[in-house]
Structure 1
Amino acid sequence: MRSALAVALALMHLAAQAGPSPRRGETIALANCARCHAVGRVGISPLAEAPPFRDLHRRYPVEDLVEALTEGIVTGHQSMPEFRLDPDEAQNLIAYLRTLER
């Protein structure tokens, strides 16, 4: 009985880790986006035309960004470099963006 409980707890822990991670999403934002965007709850974007991430949900549902992030954003603003995330990275970034909506 104990071993079944241990296995169940281990599987629940793994399942929780397998889902989108706001922490990993924040790491992606800091590495790829912070040069132009304010990626946290406060601050001004270093590039004036780059919207702060905390305001993106006011423009459109952030979930709508998944396709653009995985297929490659060509331009979000004039000086934005083209980049592409793998599906897991995109989901992690979306999970992080959702934390900024609160």
Structure 2
Amino acid sequence: MRAGLVLLLIIAAACAPRPDPRVAEGERLAQARCASCHAVGPTGASPRPPAPPFRDLHRRYPVDQLAESLAEGILTGHPAMPQTSFDQAEIEAFLAYLRSLER
């Protein structure tokens, strides 16, 4: 009986989805480049109240459509947000992180 339980646990662990390694890199990028204004995690308020929390971005924008803006440099209508751009690997990681916040 016990051997059956151990085997079941091994099979369950082997079948569990593997975390996307890009998510951790995307979180690091969000912390480094965005956390001074935006709430970048699953909870908490943004340090700058008008800056939307990242966990809510998918409600405002199709997150995957942000790739072009991230590549070209985010330009906004307000002077408080600095212009920044991401390379392709950073975009993939950043978007993977944003998608992880949708859950």
Query: Would you call these one fold, judging by a TM-score over 0.5?
Result: yes
CA spacing shift, 1:39–1:77, aligned 2, 3 Å: farther
CA RMSD of aligned residues (A): 1.8
Q: State the one-letter code of the partner of 2:70.
A: L
Aligned counterpart, 2:28: 27
Q: State the one-letter code of the partner of 2:73.
A: G
Q: What stretches of structure 1 move > 4 A for 4+ residues in a row? A: none
Provide the identity percentage: 56
Aligned counterpart, 2:40: 39
Separation in 2 of the partners of 1:36 and 1:51? 9
Aligned counterpart, 1:53: 54
TM-score for both structures, normalised by structure 1? 0.78
Q: Give the gaps of 5 or more residues in structure 2.
A: 1-17
Separation in 2 of the partners of 1:57 and 1:39? 13
Q: State the one-letter code of the partner of 2:88.
A: P
TM-score for both structures, normalised by structure 2? 0.77
Separation in 2 of the partners of 1:59 and 1:95? 17
